[in-house]
Amino acid sequence: MRRIAIISDIHSNMPALERVLSDIDAQKVDAIYCLGDVVGYGPEPVEAMRRVLDVCDEGKVIAGNHDHAAIHEPIGFNAEARAAALWTNSKIRAGMFSWLGKRKRWNWLRDLPTSFTEKDVLYVHASPRNHLEEYILEEHTLGRTFLGEDPRQLLEENFALVQHTCFIGHTHRPGVVTGDDFTWHSLKALDQRWTIDPRKTIINVGSVGQPRDGDPRACYVIFDGASVEWRRVAYDVEKTRKLIMGTPQLGQHLADRLLVGR
Tens of pLDDT, residue by residue over 108-127, are 999 999 999 999 999 999 99
Assign residue 77 a region: left if phi > 0, alpha if psi is -120 to 50, beta otherwise? beta
Q: What is the pLDDT of residue 198?
A: 96
| pLDDT cut 90: percent of the chain above it | 88
* Domains of the chain by residue range: 4-260
Largest Cα separation within the chain, whole Å, is: 55
CATH superfamily of the domain spanning 4-260: Metallo-dependent phosphatases (3.60.21.10)
pLDDT band at 188 (very low <50, low <70, confident <90, very high): confident
Please indicate, yes or no, whether the overall pTM of this predicted structure exceeds 0.85: yes
pLDDT band at 95 (very low <50, low <70, confident <90, very high): low
